[in-house]
Structure 1
């Protein structure tokens, strides 16, 4: 009964550990995506700036560029904020994975202690039975 319970607990811990690792991988992917988005926005801004200097002739062109640049900066700010959120989420996932590893380690220690206790009890019973057998044998056959 205890063995079946221990096996179920172990399977549950392994499942939880896998879930947390998957969460961490997903969070890492979100961070990578957010970083790429920020990088793309910066590249777009640099390209637009280069095109402006090649083709701008009037103050209206520069005003249009300024509005476009401001919009790109806002997008970049939002993307950086999303990146921060993704990094926070990834850090939380890392902490969850670490706690899961700690739980698994503690579970293994407890299982080993239980196994050791059961083995000691079994050996104690065997030695007691052997002592009884020796005592009974020596009494019946002097």
Structure 2
């Protein structure tokens, strides 16, 4: 008689032998189509500006710091567009009145970019679920 207290897994995840992007494209996520998302904009490091989907620049205004409960310091840069009044994408891009404003942690953006690059690399493989 088998030991009833022992737990036997039904299926163990296995590493796939094919990279995530071999022969197929990555699925498009809904956020990738959303023009209001910062991930879909372009950052110009030399000018320290962001360019939105409509091609308008958001200029840096100031930098702020906040400290989390755990003591981690977050530095954010704040940007504002010059004029969104006659923009054809305004409805899809922003909800508030006035020009578009964003606050960005450039360090956080770097971490996100590094993670995406790792996910798209040849060395990364998705686990196979049975």
Instruction: Please state which band the TM-score falls in when normalised by the shorter chain.
Output: under 0.3
Structure of higher RCO (CA pairs closer than 8 Å, 6+ residues apart): 1
Could you state the TM-score of these two structures normalised by the residue count of structure 1?
0.25
When you count helix as a share of all residues, which structure comes out higher?
1
Could you state the TM-score of these two structures normalised by the residue count of structure 2?
0.27
When you count strand as a share of all residues, which structure comes out higher?
2
User: Which structure has the greater CA radius of gyration?
Assistant: 1
